[in-house]
Every structure is written in C-alpha cells, then in structure tokens.
C-alpha cells in the first residue's frame, strides 16, 4: 500500500469513496437476474425492480411499459448518482470524474454530426443523446448549417475541443469518415485519460492504467474485426490503435495485417491475459466476443474494489452500473419480444 495515500486520501475523498462503495452493494445480484429472466412481461420486470434501488424511478410508470422507459429510468438513477459525486468532489477527483463522461460526449457529438449530415430533427437527436455525455453547448451543434460550421462550434464550445483540433479537420466530417472520426477521438481521449492517471500516481495510476490498457486493447481488436473486408488500409487501421496497452506496439503491428477473425485470434492468444477470453469462444463464434470481453472487464472492475485509497472505484462503479443497464435492456427486450430462450445470451453477471 502507498503510505502517503493512506495518510491523506480520506481528508478530501474518503466520504465519496465510502458513498460509492455503499452504492456498489445496491448492484443487482445473480438471484435478481435469475428472477428477472423468469418474468413473463415488462410489468413483471418493473415489479421486481421496484424492490431494488431502481424502485423510486419506476414505481410511478404506467402500463404498458416499454424497454426504452425502463432503460431511461435506470439511466436516470446513474446520472443522479454521478451528479451527487460531482457536487461533493474536489480536485483532482472532479477532473477525474469529468474524464469518465468524455466517452459519452464523443458518442453524442458523433450522433449530432451524423444527424446533421442526414438533416434529422434537432430535438429528436438531443433526446437520443446519453445524459452523461450532455454539456451546455451541445444544442448549438445541432443548429449548424454545414460541416465547416459544425467543426467550428465543436472547437469552440465543447470539452472535446483538444481532441478535435489534434485529430480531425472539417474535411473529415462526411458519411464515410464518421466511424473513423469516432475511433480517432476515442484514441485521443483514452491516451489523454491514461496520461492524466499516470500523473495522479499511486494506486490510482496502477489500477486505472491497467483498466484503460484493457479498454485500449479491446478497441484495437474491435477496430480490426470491424475493418476486415472494408476499404480501410493497414496504415489507417494502425493509426486508430491507442499508443499504450499490452498489445502496444508489437501486437498492433500483427493486428494491422490480419485479414480474418481467426488471424486476430492467433495474435491475441500470444498474450496470456487474453488467452482465457478467446478460450471461451469456438472458431466461427466471433459474435460472442463482445460478451467475453465484457465479462473480463467486469471481473477487473470488481477487483478494483479490493484496494483502498484510489479513484478507480469511481470509474469501476459507473462502468458496472452501465453494464447493469445493458443487462436490463437485453432482458427487457427478450421478455417484450417473447424470446426468453435467448435471455442469457448477452447477460453479464456482476456478482
């Protein structure tokens, strides 16, 4: 353990750490998921969730329920908890918590950009944005008349301005480059977050750098698989990989030249931490890869709670809540569409 953190951490951050560790005990258990998977309709799902911490958010919702309503209300609980943490946080925890939301901000900006290209309604776009990725000037992005104006607004008015100025030009903003733009921004964001955590030092740096490295490696695999058979060149693919992580740099060189999923598997099996992930997946079952990565991420996030006096618990708790919401969305969809035989396909148990 790190002596200085033991002496000083609780002065500013001990209260919030206790809050987030208490909130963790409210995450759904395996027994909760088993009960949810037995539900016959969405009203049954609501009835069970009413007995959990989601109760106050769902109890007044009228029937018939929709999956989107359940997801929105569960997300609202996460947003309320995040806002409470932000109100209580002091520096550098405040900046750390802001970094956690930048991924959602990128997704929201990309959604606005895509909608602007296709002349979609502004209010419709804003309703689809993730609430954790909202910022004061996001509405101004939707009133841009063209891509050049949108680029100027992003550079001036958003927290993502440094990532855009370093990586994107106004000529990049077209239909073909939207996903490249998203991955380029994520690369810049992850590298920036990684450097920030390194500067914090101690247990925060040790645990967060490991979690962010895993995220960077997962994105590298995802980019590789999704770009197979596309016009993306090997050099373009390599530029989208983050400049850190277990795969950096030699694994990136091998991934850049992969031409099918089995070659990706061959590269990843050279790295012991990822052998167990690919061992769960038979050849030709690449669609199960996302779930295997989510399961490994959940395991690592839960392990971060085993240490004290660090900021990674805040990152881990928010990620675990997001995974829980993904689980509830999948279960609700399966119940609503009478596909209960598939309900376990994408549920990732947290405990």
Question: Which residue ranges make up each domain of the chain?
Answer: 1-85+310-350
Integer Cα distance of 251 and 242 in angstroms: 12
Integer Cα distance of 26 and 74 in angstroms: 13
Compare 236 and 198 and report the one with higher pLDDT. Answer: 198
Integer Cα distance of 214 and 155 in angstroms: 29
Residue from 188, 177, 183, 275 nearest 231 by CA: 177
CB of 237 within 8 A of CB of 223? yes
Task: Please give the span between the terminal C-alpha atoms of the chain, in angstroms, as a whole number.
Answer: 26
pLDDT at position 75 is 96
Q: What is the DSSP letter of 245?
A: S
Integer Cα distance of 295 and 327 in angstroms: 12
Integer Cα distance of 343 and 199 in angstroms: 43
pLDDT, one tens digit per residue, over 165-206 is 766 665 655 655 788 888 988 999 999 999 999 999 889 999
The overall longest dimension of the chain from CA atoms, in Å, is 56
Q: What is the mean pLDDT of the chain?
A: 88
Integer Cα distance of 319 and 101 in angstroms: 11
Integer Cα distance of 159 and 52 in angstroms: 35
Percent of the chain with pLDDT over 70: 89
Least confident of 30-39, 163-172, 260-269, 299-308: 163-172
pLDDT at position 156 is 66
pLDDT, one tens digit per residue, over 77-100 is 999 999 999 999 999 999 999 999
User: Two tokens at 109?
Assistant: 């900006």
Own/partner long-range contacts of 169-178 (Cβ < 8 Å, ≥24 apart): 173/113, 173/117, 173/147, 174/117, 174/147, 175/117, 178/110, 178/113, 178/114, 178/117
Integer Cα distance of 256 and 228 in angstroms: 10
Neighbours of 304 (CB within 10 A): 22
User: Two tokens at 185?
Assistant: 């921004």
Integer Cα distance of 173 and 117 in angstroms: 9
Q: What CATH architecture does domain 1-85+310-350 belong to?
A: Orthogonal Bundle (1.10)
User: Two tokens at 83?
Assistant: 């806002």
């Amino acid at each position: 353990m790190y002596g200085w953190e033991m002496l000083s951490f609780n002065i500013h951050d001990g209260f919030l750490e206790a809050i987030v560790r208490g909130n963790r005990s409210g995450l759904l258990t395996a027994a909760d998921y088993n009960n949810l998977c037995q539900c016959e309709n969405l009203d049954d799902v609501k009835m069970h969730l009413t007995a959990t911490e989601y109760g106050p958010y769902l109890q007044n919702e009228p029937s018939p329920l929709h999956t989107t309503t359940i997801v929105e209300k569960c997300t609202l609980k996460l947003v309320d908890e995040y806002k409470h943490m932000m109100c209580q946080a002091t520096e550098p925890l405040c900046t750390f918590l802001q970094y956690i939301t930048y991924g959602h901000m990128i997704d929201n900006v990309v959604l606005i950009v895509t909608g602007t290209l296709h002349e979609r309604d502004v209010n419709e776009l804003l309703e689809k944005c993730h609430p954790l990725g909202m910022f004061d000037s996001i509405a101004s992005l939707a009133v841009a008349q063209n891509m050049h104006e949108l680029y100027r607004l992003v550079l001036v008015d958003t927290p993502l301005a440094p990532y855009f100025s370093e990586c994107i030009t106004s000529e990049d903003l077209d239909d073909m480059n939207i996903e490249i733009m998203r991955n380029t921004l994520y690369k810049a964001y992850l590298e920036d977050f990684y450097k920030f955590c390194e500067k914090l030092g101690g247990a925060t740096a040790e645990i967060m750098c490991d979690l962010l490295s895993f995220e960077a490696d997962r994105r590298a695999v995802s980019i590789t698989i999704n770009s197979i058979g596309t016009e993306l060149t090997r050099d373009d693919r390599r530029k989208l990989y983050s400049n850190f992580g277990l795969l950096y740099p030699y694994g990136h060189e091998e991934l850049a030249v992969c031409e099918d999923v089995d070659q990706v598997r061959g590269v990843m099996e050279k790295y012991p931490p990822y052998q167990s992930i690919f061992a769960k997946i038979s050849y030709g079952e690449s669609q199960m890869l996302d779930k295997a990565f989510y399961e490994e991420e959940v395991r690592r996030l839960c392990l971060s709670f085993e240490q004290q006096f660090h900021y990674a618990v805040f990152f881990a708790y928010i990620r675990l809540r997001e995974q829980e919401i993904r689980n509830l969305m999948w279960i609700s969809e399966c119940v609503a569409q009478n596909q209960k035989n598939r309900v376990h396909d994408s549920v990732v148990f947290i405990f």
